[in-house]
Amino acid sequence: MELIEQFALVNTPVFLKTVKMLLAVMYIIHLPYIGMLLGNTLFSLIFNAMDKQQPNGLHATFSRRLIDSVAFRKSISLVFGVLPLMVITLIYIQILQSGGASTTLFLIYSLVPIVLGLIAVNVYRITFSQRSYLSILIGAAGIGLLLVGYFVLIASVARFHEPDRWKFVTSLTSLLVSYNAIGNYLTFLMASLAISGAGIVFFIFKWQNDSENDTPEFQRYARQFGVIISLIFTLLIPIFLIFSFITLPDVAWSNSMMFSGILVIIVLAIISLVLTAMLQRNDLKYGISLFVLFIIAYSLLVITNAITRENSLVELSKTINLKGEAMLAELIPERGEVGSGLTDYARGEDIYKRICSTCHRFDKQIVGPAYNTVLGKYENDINKLVAFVSKPTKVNPDLPPMPNLGLKINDVEAAAGYLIKTYQEEYK
Least Cβ distance, residue 1 to ligand HEC (angstroms): 15
- Residue number, 167 or 394, with CB nearest to ligand HEC: 394
Number of other residues whose CB lies within 10 A of the CB of residue 412 = 22
| Interacting positions 33-72 with ligand HEC (CB under 6 A) | none
Supply angle C-alpha 230, 274, 222, rounded to 5. Answer: 45
- Rank residues 238 and 392 by Cβ distance to ligand HEC and give the closer one: 392
Which 312-351 positions form the footprint of ligand HEC (CB under 6 A)? 351
* Closest to 230 (Cα-Cα) out of 205, 203, 199: 199
Q: Closer to ligand HEC by CB, 238 or 401: give it.
A: 401
Residues whose CB falls within 8 Å of the CB of residue 111, separated by 6 or more in sequence, listed in order: 85, 89, 149
Judged by CB under 6 A, the residue of 96, 193, 201, 355 near ligand HEC is: 355
DSSP conformation letters of 44-79 = HHHHHHHHHHS--HHHHHHHHHHHTSGGGSHHHIII
Closest by CA position to 198, among listed 162, 168, 228: 228
Q: Report the residue from 130, 132, 171, 358 that binds ligand HEC according to the rule CB under 6 A.
A: 358
Which of 135, 175, 278, 384 lies closest to 392 in space, CA to CA? Answer: 384
Q: Which is nearer to ligand HEC, 99 or 149 (CB)?
A: 99
Give the residue among 225, 255, 309 at the shortest CA–CA distance from 43: 225
Residue among 269, 395, 409, 424 that touches ligand HEC (CB under 6 A) = 395
The answer for residues whose C-beta is within 8 angstroms of residue 43's C-beta and 6 or more apart is 62, 63, 66, 196, 200, 225, 229
Rounded least distance, CB 367 to ligand HEC, Å: 5
Question: Site size for ligand HEC, by CB under 6 A?
Answer: 24
Nearest to 45 by CA among 145, 136, 132: 136
Give the nearest distance from C-beta 416 to ligand HEC in angstroms: 6
Give me the least distance between CB of 355 and ligand HEC, in Å please. 5
Other beta carbons within 10 Å of 177: 12
- The distance of closest approach from Cβ of residue 356 to ligand HEC in the complex, given in angstroms and rounded to an integer, is 3
For the bound state, the minimum distance from the C-beta of residue 12 to ligand HEC, rounded and expressed in Å, comes to: 13
Closest contact distance (angstroms) between CB of 386 and ligand HEC is 9
Among 80-88, 90-98, 161-169, 396-404, the segment contacting ligand HEC (CB under 6 A): 396-404
* Residues 162 and 180: beta-carbon distance below 8 Å: yes
Between residues 149 and 369, which has the closer beta carbon with respect to ligand HEC?
A: 369
Please, which residue, 9 or 108, has the CB nearer to ligand HEC?
9
Task: Kindly write down the DSSP assignment for every residue of 89-116, as one continuous string.
Answer: HHHHHHHHTTTT-THHHHHHHHHHHHHH
Contact indicator for 226, 234 with CB cutoff of 8 Å: no
Of 302 and 386, the one with the shorter C-beta distance to ligand HEC is: 386
Asked if 46 and 203 count as a contact pair (C-beta separation under 8 A), the reply is: no
**Residue whose CB is less far from ligand HEC, 38 or 405:** 405
CA 30 to chain centre: 12
Instruction: Mark 368-387 with x for binding to ligand HEC (rule: CB under 6 A) and - for no binding.
Output: xx----x----------x--
Using CB under 6 A, which of 37, 186, 274, 405 touches ligand HEC?
405
Amino acid letter at 238?
P
Q: Which is nearer to ligand HEC, 76 or 331 (CB)?
A: 331
Q: Which stretch binds ligand HEC (CB under 6 A): 41-49, 102-110, 166-174, 394-402?
A: 394-402
389 lies in the site for ligand HEC, by CB under 6 A: yes
Query: What residue ranges bind ligand HEC (CB under 6 A)?
Result: 351, 355-356, 358-360, 367-369, 374, 385, 388-389, 394-396, 399-403, 405, 415, 419
